[in-house]
Structure 1
Amino acid sequence: MMHPHTELRFINEQIGFGVFATRFIPKGTLTWALDDLDQILEPEVVEGLDEDRKKLVKKYSYRNQYGMFILCWDNGRFVNHSFHANCIGTAYEVEIAVRDIYPGEQLTDDYGSLNVDEPFECFPEEGTDRTRVMPGDLLHYADVWDAQALEAFRHYNEVEQPLAHLIREEFKDKVEIAATLGKLIDSIRVIYLERDSRSAAR
C-alpha cells in the first residue's frame, strides 16, 4: 500500500503516470508496505496468462526472492524508476523515504532492487553513469541502498508512520532495531532472486 498522502498523476505520453506527494513526507517515513490486498502470483500462473494480461503483469509487478510476481493493488505499481530514488526498499517488505519528499514531488524507486528479468535502458540522469537497470543490480548496489535505508531509519520514530500497522509480524522487531539501535539485521540483498542457468539465459 502506498503512503496515503500520495496521488496518481499523468506525466507525459512517454513516461505515462507517476505517484506524487500531496503533502510533505519527511525522511524516515515508510512510503510503501506490502499489503494483504497485493496479489502474489506464481511464475507458472503468469506464464499461463494470455499475452495481453501477461504483458501487463510483467510491466507492473516486481519479483521477490522466491520468484513470485508481486502485483500491487493500488498506485504502488505506478511508482517510476530513478537512479537517484527518494524511496528505498528493504528486506522487510517496506520502502522508506531516504530524503524529505515535498508536495508535488514524484516518489521514485531504483528498479534495480526489483529483480528485473531483463536489462532495460533508462532516461539519462545527471550525477550518475548508470544508464541501464540490470538483473544483478540488487547485488551490486545492496551496500549503498542498505546504508541509505539505515540512515533513514534513524528518523523513523520522529515522524508519523501511517503504514506502520502493515509491517508484517516477523519484521516488526527488525524494523524497531533499525530505528532504535541503528542496526540493519538483514541486507536488501537477501531478496535477490537466484536464477538457475536456464532462466538466467532468457
Structure 2
Amino acid sequence: MSHEHIELRDSPIAGRGVFATRHIKAGEVVFTAHPDDIKYEIDAVYAMLPDQRDAILYYTWQCGPTTLCLDGGIGRYQNHSCDPNTWWINEDTTVARRDIAAGEEVTCDYGAFMMSVPYDMPCNCGAANCRGRITHRDYLDSRFQRTHGDHVPPYIRDAINAAKLSVQTDLDVKA
C-alpha cells in the first residue's frame, strides 16, 4: 500500500518514478506490503521462460530470503538512490528517512533489500555519495551498513551478521 500523497511521473533517474505530491514528514509510512502482492519463489522465477523471468525480475522487490514480491501499486516504480529518502522499519514497511518535499522523487536503496538475485548496473542517482554501480552485494559494504544501520529488512540484517561472523571466524582461524 502506498502513501496517499505520491504519484507516478517521468523520472530524471530512470524511466518512471514515484513523486511526492505534498510534503511527507520524516517517519511517515511511505510503502507497506499489501496482502494481495504477488509472491514468487526466486528459484521458480529462474525456471521461467526468459521474457517472463526478466519482466518479473524488473518489477519485483525482494521480500524474504528466497522470495520476490510484485507490488500491485506504484511502489514497483520506485527508483534507486545511494542517498535514499526512504528506508525500512521492518520486513514490509518503509518510512521517510527525512522530510520529502512536494515534487521530490521518492527513492529507496536497492542494496537495502535485493541480495539473492545477482545484478550489477550503473547508478544514475546523482547523489553526492553515489556508489556508481548498484549490485546485489552492496549490503556487505561497511559504508552502506553505517548509513542504513538497522533500517533494512530482517533477512538483510541476518546476511550482514552472517558475513561479519564469517570474517571473524576466518580471522580466528588465521590467528
Q: How far apart in 2 are the matches of 1:33 and 1:188?
A: 17
Contact 1:21/1:103 (8 A) holds in 2:
yes
Deviates more, 1:99-108 or 1:56-65: 56-65
Aligned residues: 156
Q: Deviations over 1:86-120 (max 9, x none)?
A: 00123331111011111111100011112242221
Q: Which amino acid aligns with 1:190?
A: D
Contact 2:14/2:124 (8 A) holds in 1:
no
Aligned to 1:67: 66
Contact 1:90/1:146 (8 A) holds in 2:
no
Local SS of the residue matching 2:18? strand
CA 1:70 to 1:191, structure 2 compared with 1: closer, same or farther past 3 Å? farther
Contact 1:112/1:138 (8 A) holds in 2:
yes
Q: Does 1:144 align with 2:144?
A: no
Q: Does 1:189 align with 2:157?
A: yes
Higher strand fraction: Structure 1 or Structure 2?
2
Local SS of the residue matching 2:35? coil
Q: Does 1:9 align with 2:9?
A: yes
Q: How far apart in 1 are the matches of 2:73 and 2:25?
A: 22
Contact 2:65/2:155 (8 A) holds in 1:
no
Q: Identity over aligned residues, as a percent?
A: 28
Aligned to 2:122: 121
Output aligned runs, 1:153-164, within 5 Å: none
Give ranges in structure 1 of 5+ residues lacking alignment.
150-183, 195-202
Q: How far apart in 2 are the matches of 1:68 and 1:25?
A: 30
Deviates more, 1:36-45 or 1:18-27: 36-45
Contact 1:82/1:109 (8 A) holds in 2:
yes
Q: Deviations over 1:37-77 (max 9, x none)?
A: 11111123312333222111101112234211111111000
Q: How far apart in 2 are the matches of 1:136 and 1:99?
A: 25
TM-score, structure 1 length as denominator? Answer: 0.68
Q: Which amino acid aligns with 1:142?
A: Q
Aligned to 2:82: 83
Contact 2:83/2:127 (8 A) holds in 1:
no
Contact 1:18/1:106 (8 A) holds in 2:
yes
Q: Which amino acid aligns with 1:11?
A: S
CA 1:90 to 1:45, structure 2 compared with 1: closer, same or farther past 3 Å? same
Contact 2:37/2:70 (8 A) holds in 1:
yes
Give ranges in structure 2 of 5+ residues lacking alignment.
163-175
CA 1:187 to 1:41, structure 2 compared with 1: closer, same or farther past 3 Å? closer
